[in-house]
Structure 1
Amino acid sequence: MRSTQDLKGRLTVHFQGEEGIDAGGLTREWYQLLSRVIFDKGALLFTTVGNESTFQPNPNSVYQTEHLSYFKFVGRVVGKALFDGQLLDVHFTRSFYKHILGIKVTYNDIEAIDPDYFKNLKWMLENDISDVLDLTFSIDADEEKLILYERTQVTDHELIPDGRNIRVTEENKHKYVDLIAEHRLTTAIRPQINAFFEGFNELIHRDLISIFHDKELELLISGLPDIDLDDMRANTEYSGYSAASPVIQWFWEVVQSFSEEDKARLLQFVTGTSKVPLEGFSALQGISGSQKFQIHKAYGSPHHLPSAHTCFNQLDLPEYPSKQHLEERLLLAIHEANEGFGFG
C-alpha cells in the first residue's frame, strides 16, 4: 500500500514484543523470514520444479484469492531487497531469471522441468522428421497434460492461428519447438509474471539489471553459496571414470583453485542453481528425488567443452590430455556455455 517513493526510503525493522535496534541484523532476518513465508508451498503462489530447490510461479495460483496482488507484492519484495542490497533465501528457475531480465527462454530451459519431453524436442531438431512425425501447430488435451507443470486437464491449444490445420515439417520444426518452449515456460504463467513485474519494476528498472545474465542475477538476489568442496567430493558419483582417474584428480585440483564465484558458477552449471541443501551435498535432489553430484565420461573429441544435465546433477567431462586443458575448457563452459540450438 506504500507509494514507490516510500519504498525507496530506508527500511527499519522492529519485531513486535522484542527489543532491539535495527543496525542491519533485524532487516536481514526480516527478509529471510519473509521470503520463506512467500515461497512456502502452502501459499500456492510458487511451486518447485525439477530438483525441488528452485521456484517459479504456480500456474494454479488462481485458487488463491487475489493471487495477482500477491505476485505484485512479491515483485516489490524482491525489488526492494535488490534495492537495499539484501539477500533472499530463494532460488528461482533459470527461465524465471530470464523473464526478469527480458531474455528469451528456449527449449533448453525445459530440460530442468521435464527431461523426457526435452529429449523429444532435441531429437526433432537433430533429425530429419520428414514423413516421421505427425504433428500440427497445436497441443491436444492429452498431450497438454504431459507438459503442463501441474499436469491438469485443459482444452486444445493452438500455437498459431489455425495451428491444428498446419503440419510441422522439416522446414518449420524450429519455429514449432520455439513456440512450444514459449507456451510451456511463459504462456501458462503469463498473468503471474506480469503482476510480479508490476511490483518489481517500481524499484528496479530492467535497464539497471540488463548488464547481468541469469546466473549472475541469481547470485545478486541470493548471494554466493557456502560450498564445502570436501563434502561435494565425498558425495560425487562417477561413470566411465573413477575417483583415481587422472582427469578426475585434475578436476578437483582445478576446482580447488577456483574463486568462490567460479565455484558457484560450476554448481549452477551442473545443478541449475547455486543452492546447497542445508544437509549438504548428500541431500542434493534431482528430477526424481535424491541425486548426488555426477561426473560422467564424455566420449568424443577432447576439444569439446564439458556439458551438463541439470535435471540429473550431471557433468559430462571429456578425457582431456592435460590439467591445463581441462581448466581452460571448464572455465569456458561455466562462463560462456551457449544455449545450444538457436531459433531464427
Structure 2
Amino acid sequence: MESNIDFDREVLAKVFLTLPLNTYLHERITSLINENSIRNLLTKKDGADGQAVRLNTPGQSRDSTGGSNAQLLAGYALTLLRCFPRRADDIRMWLYLGPTAQASRDMPATRYFWDAAKASTVFGTIWQNSRTVLPLLKLSQPTGQQVDDWTVIMVFLELYTFLLKIMDDEEFMGSGSRRNSAIPVGEVGDLVTFLKNLGFTLHFQSSELTAASDAVGRSAVNTSIGRYFGKTTEPAVKPTAADNSKPLTLAGLPGLTIDYLKGLVTGLLRAVYERDSRRHFLPANHWLMTERFDMTAFIPGVVAEEESRHLVQDQDDDDRDDPESDEELDEPEGFLGQAHSGGRRGTNSGWASLLRSQNARERAQRKASRKRYLESVAPRLEILQNMPFFIPFVTRVEIFRQFVQLDQEKRRNGHVDPDVWRQSIMFGPPNDLPPHELLARHHAKIRRKNEFADAFEQFYELGSDLKEPIQITFVDEFDIQEAGIDGGGVTKEFLTSVISQAFDPANENIEHVYFIENDKHLLYPNSTAIEDAKVQYKQMGVKESAMRAEVKHLLQQYEFLGRIIGKCLYEGILVDVSFAGFFLKKWALTGGTNSAPMESGYRANINDLRELDEGLYHGLLALKNAPAEQVEDFGLTFIVDDVVGPEGHKEVIERELIPGGANAAVTAENRLVYINRMSWYRLQGQSTQQTNAFLRGLGSIVQPSWLSMFNQSELQTLIGGAAAEINITDMRRNTQYGGTYVIGDDGQEHPSVQLFWHVMANLPDVQRRKVVKFVTSTPRGPLLGFSQLNPRFSIRDSGADENRLPSTSTCVNLLKLPMYRSAEVLRAKLLAAVESGAGFDLS
C-alpha cells in the first residue's frame, strides 16, 4: 500500500485524462458537493428535540431515540471525503460552518459526531484498554455495528483535525467563544486516551498488523521479511521484488487503510499535544504510556534499533544514488528507433515513459518494503519519532545523548575523545587526504569581532564534517595570537561567540540581519532577508547574475548557522539563545531526508502567528469572530504587502495570497481561507528559503529523526538548559578544582571553597542563575545535571588578595576565586562581579 501511495503521488498524479463526462453526469456528480446541501446536512437530527443524545461515559450504549442516524450521516460525509479528495477541505469547512440559516437547536457537526463516536462500542473498547486494540483492528469480518462505529469515528477525526487548524486557543478552551463548535475541553482527556491506545498499537505493533495483511499472500508465495532482507537480524540485502501483499483496510471500508488511519491518528494526537503544551489542560502524566514498555531495557533497545536503522538508511541512500537514472531510460527509444520508422518516435517516447514509471514504482516498492521492515524491527523508534510524548522527557534526552555517542564512535573509528581522534588521524591507516591536510581543515584562525565571517569562510566547506573536533586560534586586531590552548574550552568560546554575533539583530559586525526577534525577544529567521538583500544589491548596481550568486551565498550562511547550532547540540554545549516556538516546531517536523530536510511536515496555524506578530494575530481573530454582515467592512482583499530594503530605501512589494487575489474581496464565506492563507504566508511561505537552508544545515549535524523526539519547548531546553531551580548539591558534586583548591588525600575542600558553597546554598535561585551564567555564559544547568556540562564546572584559586573580584573563563566554565576568608566578603565580591561582568580571560 505504501508503495502504491508513493507511485500514485509521484507518477499517476502527473497523468491527466482528457475524456469529459457528459453534461448530465457532470451536473449530478458536482451536485453532491454543493455547499448548501452539505452545510444543511445536520439540520434534521434524530430525537424529539432535534438533538443527538450526549453521553458522559465512553462506550455507554445509546438509548432508542439517540444517535440512530449518525452512522448514515457519517457514511455519506465519509463517502464525499473519499470520492472528492481535492474538495476535502471545502467539505470539512462546510460541515464546520453548519446550517446556512442558524437555528438555536442546531448542534455543530464536530460536536454531533463526537457524541456519537464517544457513545460507540468500538470507541469504548479502545478507550478502556490499549491491549484490546490489536484484535479489533485485525478482524477479518467485522460486524455491521463495528463498521458503523468506525465510520462515525473516522468522520469525527477528519473534522476535528481540520477544526484544530483554524481554532485559536481561547475558542478551544471555551472562553470568549461566540460559538461552541469544539468538544468540551473537559472531554478532551477521553479523546486523548482513545487516540493514545489506538496510536500505540498502530505504531508499536505495526509488524503484527502487517502480518495480518500479508496472511493471504504468504499462503501462496513466500512473502516473509526474509524474502526482502534475508534473516531479520541481518538487514543487509536490498529488497528487489515487488510487494504483492494487500493493504489491510479498516473494518473493510473501501479506501480506508490502516496506514491512512495511522497518519490521521498520529497527526491529530500531536496537534492536541501541542495545544496542551501551551495551555496545560491535561494532567502532566496523562500522555505517558510507560506501562506498555520495559523501561529498564528501553534505552539499550532503542540504541540497538538505531543501529539497524543506519543499515537500512544506507540502503536508501544507495537506492537514491542508483546510476540507472531517468536519462538512461531514454536508451530504449534509440534502440527501437533502429527497427521502426521516424514516425514511431511518439510511441518510442511513450515506451520510455512507461519504463520510467515502472522504475519509479519499483523504487517506491523497495522503499515501502524497507519502511515496513523498520516498523517491524524498530518499534521503539517508531514511537519516539511519531509519538515521543509516550516516553518521559529525561529518558528521551538520555537516548539523544546515546545516539550522539553512537554516531561519534561510528565516524571516529571508536575514538570519541578529540585528542585520541587526532592521533588516530596522524598515525592511523591512510585517509583520502594527508593527515596534516585533513587536520588543517578542522583548524581555523578567528579574528575578534569577525567570528561569524571567519568561521563561515574557513568551515563552510566542511559540511557534515563539522561534527568532528575542531581547533580554534583567536587573534586580535593586530593578528597576534591570544593565550589559550584548545582543550575544548576555546571551541565552546568560539561557538558561543559566533552565535551571539550572528543571532543578534542589532549587531553591526555582520553582513545581514539573519534573525529577528518578537516582542518576547524570541528569535526566528528574518522573513525579508532575501528581499532586503536584493534591494540593497540593486541599489549598488549589482547585475542580475551576480545578485543570484549573492542570494545563494546568503542561503549558505543560513545553512552554516544551522550547522553551528547543530554542533552545540551534538557536543552538549549549552548556549544562551532562545528561539520562537513556531520556528522550533519546524525542527521536529522537518520531513525530508538527512541530506535535504525541509519544513514540509509543519502546518501553519493562527496560534503560531501569535508568536510572530501579536497585532496580526488579534486582527485575524477579530475578522474570524466578526458578525457576517460586518466582514466586508474590513475592506480586505487576498493580498499582502511586504516592506523590504535597508533603512531609507524601503520598497513595498504586493503579493497575492491566491490567484487573482487583488480582485478577490474577503467575505464571511471565505474569511477562513484568508486567515489560513495569511497564516501560511507569514509563518511559512515568506521565509521558506531561509528556514529550509537552516534546517538543511542543522540536519547535516543532528539527524532530523533525533529532533523529532522533542516538542518545541523541549528543544529549547536541549539548546539552553533546564528551567528548573539550580541544584547546588548536584553542582557541587560535579565540580572540578584546580591550583590551590585541588582536593588532597584527606578529601576535604579548601576553606574558601567551603565558603563559596555555603554562600551559593543561601542565594535565591535568581542570583544562583546569575552566577551560573557568569561562569558558563548560560543561566541554566543541563537537564540531566551538571555531570553533563561540557566542559565541567570548575573552580581554581586566583591569589590571596581579598580586594580582588572573582573572574571567569567562560570558554572552560571556570571560576577564578580569590581565597576569601569570610562568607560576607565572598558574597559581596561574588555578586559585585556577577552584576558588573568583571574579569574575563582565556586559560
Q: Under TM normalisation by the shorter chain, which class is it? A: 0.5 to 0.7
Matched, 1:163 2:658: no
Change (3 A) 1:6 1:115: closer
The CA distance in 2 between the partners of 1:174 and 1:226, in whole Å, is: 40
Equivalent in the alignment of 1:78? 565
Q: Does 1:138 align with 2:638?
A: yes
One-letter code aligned to 2:608: D
- Structure 1 residues 78-133: Cα deviation after superposition (integer angstroms, max 9, x where no partner): 11211222222321222221232233232222323432321121122234334532
Secondary structure, counterpart of 1:48 in structure 2: strand
Question: For residue 606 of structure 2, what is the amino acid of its counterpart?
Answer: Y
- Compute the displacement of 1:218 (Å): 1.2
**CA, structure 1 residues 225+14, in 2 after alignment: closer, same or farther (shift >3 Å)?**
farther
Q: 1:69 to 1:178 in 2, by over 3 A?
A: same
- The alpha-carbon distance between structure 1 residues 5 and 118, as it changes in their structure 2 partners (threshold 3 A), is closer
1:28 aligns with 2:492: yes
Matched, 1:56 2:520: no
Displacement of 1:212 after TM fit? 0.9
- What amino acid does structure 2 have at the position aligned with 1:45? V
Partner residue of 1:211 out of 709, 718, 740: 709
Deviates more, 1:219-228 or 1:65-74: 219-228
Q: Which residue of 2 aligns with 1:172?
A: 670
CA distance in 2, matches of 1:6, 1:48: 29
> Is residue 2:562 matched to residue 1:95?
no
Across the aligned residues of Structure 1 and Structure 2, the Cα RMSD in angstroms comes to: 3.4
Determine whether 1:195 maps to 2:682.
Answer: no
Deviation at 1:168, TM superposition (A): 2.9
TM-score between both structures, scaled by the size of structure 2 = 0.25
Matches within 5 A, 1:303-314: none
Question: How far off is 1:222 after superposition?
Answer: 1.9
- Once the two structures are TM-superposed, the CA of residue 210 in structure 1 deviates from its matched residue by 1.0
Q: Tell me the residue number matched to 2:391.
A: none
Q: Deviations over 1:218-258 (max 9, x none)?
A: 11112235869xxxxxxxxxxxxxxxxxxxxxxxxxxxxxx
The one-letter code matched in structure 2 to 1:139 is: I
Partner of 2:173: none
Paired residue for 2:622, among 83, 98, 123?
A: 123
Deviation at 1:71, TM superposition (A): 0.8
* CA shift digits 1:177-205 (9 cap, x unpaired): 12111111222222211221222221223
User: Contact 2:467/2:701 (CA < 8 Å) preserved in 1?
Assistant: yes
Distance in 2 (alpha carbons) for counterparts of 1:104 and 1:140: 20
Q: Distance in 2 between matches of 1:130 and 1:116?
A: 23
Task: Report SS of the residue matched to 1:132.
Answer: helix
1:7 maps onto 2:475 in alignment: no
1:32·1:88 contact (CA, 8 Å) conserved in 2? yes
Q: Which has the higher contact order (CA 8 A, sep 6+)?
A: 1
Compared CA separation, residues 155 and 13, structure 1 to 2 (3 A): closer
Shift of 1:214: 0.9
Q: Residue deviations 1:314-335, cap 9 Å, x none?
A: xxxxxxxxxxxxxxxxxxxxxx
Q: Read off the aligned partner of 1:70 and give its amino acid letter.
A: Q
Q: Distance in 2 between matches of 1:57 and 1:205?
A: 21
One-letter code aligned to 2:613: D
AA matched with 1:219: T
Query: 8 Å contact 1:45–1:58 — kept in the other structure?
Result: yes
**Number of matched pairs:** 228
Matches within 5 A, 1:246-257: none
CA distance in 2, matches of 1:152, 1:180: 22
Aligned twin of 2:126: none
Query: Contact between 2:638 and 2:674, CA under 8 Å: does it hold in 1?
Result: no
- Which has the greater radius of gyration? 2
Structure 1: distance between partners of 2:629 and 2:584: 36
Give per-residue Cα distances to partners, 1:21-60, cap 9 Å, x unaligned.
Answer: 4343322222211111112332233343333622222234
- The 1:101–1:121 alpha-carbon spacing in structure 2 relative to 1, beyond 3 Å, is same
| 2:523 and 2:579 in contact (8 A); partners too | yes
Q: 1:137·1:160 contact (CA, 8 Å) conserved in 2?
A: no
TM-superposed deviation, 1:152: 5.3
Cα–Cα, structure 1 residues 5 and 200, in superposed 2: closer, same or farther, change >3 Å? closer
Asked if structure 2 preserves the Cα contact closer than 8 Å seen for 1:136 and 1:164, the reply is no
Which of 609, 628, 649 is matched with 1:110 structurally? 609
Aligned mates of 2:714, 2:691 — CA distance in 1: 20
2:513–2:526 CA contact under 8 A, matched in 1: yes
AA at the equivalent of 1:95: F
Relative to structure 1, the CA distance from residue 5 to residue 163 in structure 2 (aligned partners, 3 Å threshold; closer, same or farther) is closer
Q: C-alpha distance in 1, partners of 2:686/2:717? A: 26
The answer on whether the counterparts of 1:138 and 1:156 sit within 8 Å (CA) in structure 2 is: no
Matches of 1:84 and 1:124, distance apart in 2 = 47
CA distance in 2, matches of 1:48, 1:227: 29
Structure (1 or 2) with the greater strand fraction:
1
**Quick one: which amino acid aligns to residue 695 of structure 2?**
F
SS at match of 1:90: coil
- What secondary structure does 2:523 align onto? strand
Gaps of 5+ in 2: 1-459, 476-480, 537-549, 590-601, 727-764, 766-777, 780-843
Give the Cα separation in 2 of the matches to 1:218 and 1:53.
Answer: 14
In structure 2, the CA distance between the partners of 1:12 and 1:225, relative to structure 1 (3 Å rule), is: farther
Greater Cα offset, 57-66 or 34-43: 57-66
Structure 1 vs Structure 2: percent identity of aligned residues? Answer: 29
Once the two structures are superposed, what CA deviation does each residue of 1:267-323 show, in whole Å capped at 9, x if it has no partner? xxxxxxxx98xxxxxxxxxxxxxxxxxxxxxxxxxxxxxxxxxxxxxxxxxxxxxxx
Which ranges in structure 1 are unaligned for 5 or more consecutive residues? 229-259, 261-274, 277-344
Distance 2:666 2:499 in 1: 43
Q: 2:582, 2:611 within 8 Å by CA — same for their partners in 1?
A: no
For 2:555, the aligned partner's letter is L
Which residue identity does 1:81 align to in structure 2?
C
Q: Deviations over 1:111-169 (max 9, x none)?
A: 2343232112112223433453255552254xx55x99x99542322112222343433
- Secondary structure (helix, strand or coil) at the match of 1:133 reads helix
Residue 46 (1) aligns with residue 525 (2)? no
Distance 1:26 1:33 in 2: 10
